[in-house]
Amino acid sequence: MDNHKLLIIENDEDSAKELQISLQKQGYEVEILVRDLTKAKRKIKTYMPDIILIDVLQEESTEWMEVVHSISRAQIPFIVLTAFADTDTIKRISKIEPCGYFVKPFNPLNLHVTIQISFYKFTQDKNRKKSLEALKVDNQNLKKLLFAKERSDKPIISFGDGFSFNTNVCETFYKNKKVNLTRKENLFIQLLVSNIGNTVNFQQAINYLWGKAKASENNVRTLVWRLRSKMDSNAIKTVSGVGYYIEKTYTSVQNKSKTPILNQYKEVKDSA
């Protein structure tokens, strides 16, 4: 068990000390605060507990609610302690969304289990929120990359040998004839052509195409395999173990022929 730091905010001094001794025996580092809500917010900042146990007897107090809001803003999990288990009390407590609810008198082992489960669930939820925020930011960055090269006066982006992508309708064409691709396949082409000359890695493709849904590098490889089968083309290049790219081309002034600009990675045989 991790040596978690606990802060107990209690209305009764004897109960607070009894709790402190019991939890210290379980291996916790414990501080107590009795009948002094004015110090609670400052104590939370200075002690920085991993989890807080707070008595619900003062629930109707505005000062008590301010302390609870301070705990929530500090993103610290908390467990409500109470001597009551009636329906009205449970409803009131549910509104402040604690991680746990423990009815007095306490069984030390049960309280220990409640603390451990509450802390674990809170940590997992926090990590999931961070992952979702990171995914959101990554997708926003991808969209910025996507539209950076899409000019309103030039919605058609040419690539490969005879292929083009219409950014207005998000569809792929070969010699002005529409290629029958799925939406996800067209989105992948959009991602590649908007980053022509640069490699789109597997994680970027997964984030853009699947978002929150579960997907792996094999899903991307399968999608590319199907795209190549439908397009009968080697326009999509592979960077082994990294991702995919489409070569950048420019028109020579002397012979007006399209010449590929070498990608930053050496082209290797497709392993998809």
Q: What does 24-72 look like in DSSP terms, one character per residue?
A: HHTT-EEEEEES-TTTHHHHHHHH--SEEEEESTTTT-HHHHHHHHHHH
Q: Please, are residues 10 and 36 in contact by the beta-carbon 8 Å criterion?
A: no
Per-residue model confidence (pLDDT) at position 139: 59
Per-residue model confidence (pLDDT) at position 163: 92
**How many Å apart are CA 45 and CA 172, to the nearest integer?**
57
Per-residue model confidence (pLDDT) at position 91: 78
- For the chain (length 272 residues), average pLDDT per consecutive 10? 79 86 89 81 86 73 78 84 79 78 80 84 73 57 54 72 88 93 93 87 90 87 92 87 80 41 38 42
Per-residue model confidence (pLDDT) at position 234: 84
Per-residue model confidence (pLDDT) at position 148: 52
Per-residue model confidence (pLDDT) at position 118: 82
Residues 160 and 73 in one domain: no
Which of 69, 101, 129 is the last residue before a domain boundary?
129
Per-residue model confidence (pLDDT) at position 244: 93
Distance of CA 95 to the CA centre of its chain: 26
Residues 116 and 159 in one domain: no
**How many Å apart are CA 94 and CA 48, to the nearest integer?**
24
Count of the separate structural domains present in the chain? 2
Per-residue model confidence (pLDDT) at position 143: 57
Q: Please, are residues 114 and 108 in contact by the beta-carbon 8 Å criterion?
A: no
Evaluate whether residue 168 is within a structural domain. Answer: yes
Residues 112 and 227 in one domain: no
Q: Please, are residues 74 and 7 in contact by the beta-carbon 8 Å criterion?
A: no
Residue 89 domain boundaries: 5-129
Evaluate whether residue 139 is within a structural domain. Answer: no
Evaluate whether residue 142 is within a structural domain. Answer: no
Residues 96 and 172 in one domain: no
**How many Å apart are CA 154 and CA 88, to the nearest integer?**
64
- SS3 of residue 241 by DSSP: coil
Per-residue model confidence (pLDDT) at position 262: 38
CATH number of the CATH domain containing 207:
1.10.10.10
Residues 99 and 19 in one domain: yes
